[in-house]
Structure 1
Amino acid sequence: MIKNTPEFITEFCPEEFSLTPVLGGLSNYNYRLEFQRDGVDYCYFVRQLSAAYSTMDNNVAHEFSAQAQAASIDLAPKIIVEHKQGMICDWIAGQHWGPSAQCRDENIEKVAQLVATLHQQPLPNHHLDMTERLQHYYQTVDGEFKTEQLEQQLAFVINLIQQHLPRNRLVFCHHDMNPLNFIEGAQTKLYLLDWEFAAAGHGDFDIATLFQTFAWQAEQQALFLKYYNQYYNKHHPTEQFLTQIPTQVTPAQIDRMAVVVEMMTLLWCIVMYQQDKETTYLTLWQQSERAIADKISRLISENLAN
């Protein structure tokens, strides 16, 4: 039992229940909820929102709406309880892929099909503007951490967003596609978890995040794009699409977006670290600081920012 169990959990449960921490989340608190009622065993997933949730410019109503839409097409767990303090969802009995499974051809295809399916859905009512979100994070950064280099990198990335990204990629985005947010359930069904950043957004952001967090090499990235382009163009539902040239996402455009994703990651890590001085965030901050410099240098050297 956790201290000061949130009201939305105690109201949902009978008198006797158990909460077991679920590892993996960085910015919220996750639990496995179990109890018995009328001789039947029940198991649910609980996510309790942390104090940092609203600081990061998140909106719980938007999250619930996005996850409910994804759950309606069986891409996400069904929400059972919605509350300002958190949520209770169906428990997905399954497993996260390890590094070896992440690189299997058949699993790369499954991820590509899931992402393409999500990107084909009707747009959520809310939109994540990458420039506004980056500026929000930067404004939240303490003055002692605002270096000249960080300011220059932010200006470079904002120019990249405004001048050098494809304009036809507004889709339903998850915005946090990392291995811990994918779980393979029964009959090898793949689900996507943690929808707090989900919104209408630039589809390349999801793909660049995947490439970064799954640590795929060029061969795996090329295979993903092959399957993604195949599934996205084959099943795109809009009438407008029928009059357009099919979208072919290229490695070059993902390389550009990778810089945006890294900038978002860097600022997020700084903001999270300054709140509680947790060393995990400091380590991620240092890694991202090196990565953003390398990626900007590569874009410039390969003339991909022009």
Structure 2
Amino acid sequence: FSISRHNEYQVLHAIEPLNLGPKPIFVHEQGLLVEWIDGITLTKDGIELEELLPIAATIHQYHSSSIPVVPFSYISRIDHYWLELEGKYVGSEFETLYKQWRSEPSVEQIPLALCHFDLGCYNLVRGEQGVKVIDW
């Protein structure tokens, strides 16, 4: 999903008042330094749905239009992965699948929302200040 530590820095800086993740400290072309979150990485059994839902809702309700990052483009990602195959599957059932995925879904325009894209338990840390989301 074209990881950008600069984008991650921008997101972490923007959501800092929400106290959802680590504070960004420094971004460089070779990486991102964030505050250490002391705690334990959660497992599936380590968090109840009732605790996870408010975290996910807070993330998705954040007005992401103020964050200076390029919005996610489903079509661009599909095209990127297809082009990475360097024409190996042209004319095959995979090209048919690519064309199908590229044209779907056809949904009406919805407001922008902040998305984590990898909100698995391994990116949740429980510490003294509650559950924090890492690896944006």
What TM-score do you get using the length of structure 2 for normalisation? 0.82
Partner of residue 233, structure 1: none
Partner of residue 150, structure 1: 94
Higher relative contact order (CA 8 A, sep 6+): 2
Structure number, greater radius of gyration: 1
Partner of residue 213, structure 1: none
1:82 paired with 2:27, answer yes
* Compared CA separation, residues 101 and 156, structure 1 to 2 (3 A): same
Partner of residue 93, structure 1: 38
Superposed CA offset, 1:91-149 (max 9, x none): 111112223234xxxx2122110111111112133211111112112212344466723
Partner of residue 186, structure 1: 128
* Compared CA separation, residues 178 and 154, structure 1 to 2 (3 A): farther
1:60 paired with 2:2, answer no
How many Å apart are 1:57 and its aligned residue?
Answer: 3.2
CA distance in 1, matches of 2:88, 2:11: 36
Q: Which has the higher helix share?
A: 1
How many Å apart are 1:166 and its aligned residue?
Answer: 5.2
Return the letter of the residue paired with 1:116.
A
The question of whether the paired residues in 1 share the 8 Å contact of 2:63 and 2:112 is answered with: no
CA distance in 2, matches of 1:93, 1:146: 49
Q: Secondary structure at the match of 1:93?
A: coil
Query: Unmatched 5+ residue regions in structure 2?
Result: none
Matches within 5 A, 1:1-150: 57-102=2-47, 107-123=48-64, 124-125=67-68, 126-144=70-88, 148-150=92-94
Query: Unmatched 5+ residue regions in structure 1?
Result: 1-55, 196-306
Cα RMSD (Å): 2.2
CA distance in 2, matches of 1:100, 1:166: 36
Q: Secondary structure at the match of 1:132?
A: helix
Return the letter of the residue paired with 2:45.
S
What TM-score do you get using the length of structure 1 for normalisation? 0.39
Alignment coverage as a number of residue pairs: 133
Among all aligned residue pairs of Structure 1 and Structure 2, give the percentage whose two residues are the same amino acid.
23
